[in-house]
Structure 1
């Protein structure tokens, strides 16, 4: 052992103490050796000084070794301890080890080799036990911390749950309020639009150019406001799960052309070309024509709004006998990749400022996304800033309504099952400007 050890020998027999000292010296142990003759002096020494090991005789004059070990233990004095026993006291030494002693050695076996071996073993065992105790203490502290954290997490979870309940209640109240207000606003808005249209009729007198311009402004702004109100109403119904699809068999190309016709004046006002191409072997679908038209009008409205010059294309074609796709392309400002997901969120717009150039509720694409998913379809977006955007919607030719039975028969179109190939297809391919 290279380091200098502090060793305490406790024995009332000076010869036995000398034997320990000589054996350690002959073994070459670098040490500071201290000697006391009874347990009380040993306890006082151990209370004030840290020792690397203590050798003590089991038969002390003032107390026996078991009492000495118990006294150290109760006083929380920790030190490697070796019991020196007489011949035949091995059984007693085992009891001392159970009480807290580190090791024992018969006095008859004291030799430099044996003593240094016991010393090293005692120090090694003590350090291992100390390390194990430290690890156990750390584990207990970690366990207590985990328990406290779990309790805190449970408390936070309860708070979050309560907040979620409150938020859900607020959301339901908000949806109910939006639905109620939207419904109440539609009545006066329809009246404004209706009376504005009546004023244009000649039987009520010819309007001056200035009067006609003002009435037209009232009519256009009324229609725009009604569209915004309808968006809020549709969104509140979608959010509450109260919007149902009213499916029927219809000619999708006619609905597409009707929607494009309604939006053409807005495109013409910005000198934008609006092209339509329909390429369908079978133009009949089973879906909600009102919602299909709404989807296309919203897409065209966005395309026109965000396109300052160039063209807008609408393309309708078949992916297969059971699927159709509607594509709207524009040469507008484009969308950054980081905003691809955000623009489908309700009330979300790329420019959220109140001074933004392009107005709107931010509900159009959210409504489109919800309607497409209700129809069992998918929506895809491709866009580059400064070049333009492309929205592609893939829809089943025949949607399934939630009220349909699982074993309901397939809808028949022109005598053929909608999912089968058409023997005498009605082909429609046209391009208009």
Structure 2
């Protein structure tokens, strides 16, 4: 009977995987899977199923190794795809349920003792795969944490120079840095303590959660530091320009495609229209890319439903325009008057958008002026905002 159950699992693998992916697509607790292609969600699960079927048929050591290798790879891929711990655990929970549902006819054909034995084998095997996936997920997150730490070290000297030479707004800057820095220090300390123990069970979950918080706060701190440095470079006149012919349509298209993933996660549509001929514009492509990225990212951040429209066209008088319009929360007149000021963020302190440093639009404003352009805002509270930038050709 043991071989029959393994063969039945192999024969029904496609059915199990199809049902599993359908369940994941519908499950609100596995949000990261919604924007992934079928193949990406499927990942290494067929290989896990094959190894599980072999174990149910006969206990062979190299098959166990194959199962462990596939479980390890699954965790790495999920980390790269942006899953969190709860989503990985949830997708394996769904897989377990579907396997038992599909194999019920074969299981009940066995004696009571055999049923218990097979159920224990399936459970213990899946538990091992889950543990391996979480361990590899943790290893990937720790590697990412080390990269963030290295970046923080590289920017530390320049930040120290900034604080020493630019006294204005230093107290404000210190206040903004305090929260993410304290979080990184606190969670790092707890994480190091956890890593001294075996990574298993609930301890694994706790370690992963702490790692994610450290990485998230580290990224936020880096983003804030880099924005502060960018503003500082502008103020001291240290932003070099490289003016050359630029294919504006292609440059903006690349930015839009890159940010489409973030927009799709909020069910937003980005519409792009451009009638400027290639190589028509003379500008600094890197600085223009920064402007477009900040404007579109800002539109995504403050829009919960609807569309974001990016338009570029030739204006009269040897000028061209870039327009980013959204259907987001909009701004009242008071907010519009302060929107380009350093550290100004829309909403109350408790309602600040995640990832916002309050410097994105300040940088846009300064870069637009650096490229001899002008920027205008047309917004209405509750109906969205339109930023229009006009540059010389």
Quickly name the TM-score band, shorter chain normalised.
0.3 to 0.5
More strand as a share of residues: 1
More helix as a share of residues: 2
Q: What is the TM-score normalised by the length of structure 1? A: 0.42
Q: What is the TM-score normalised by the length of structure 2? A: 0.45
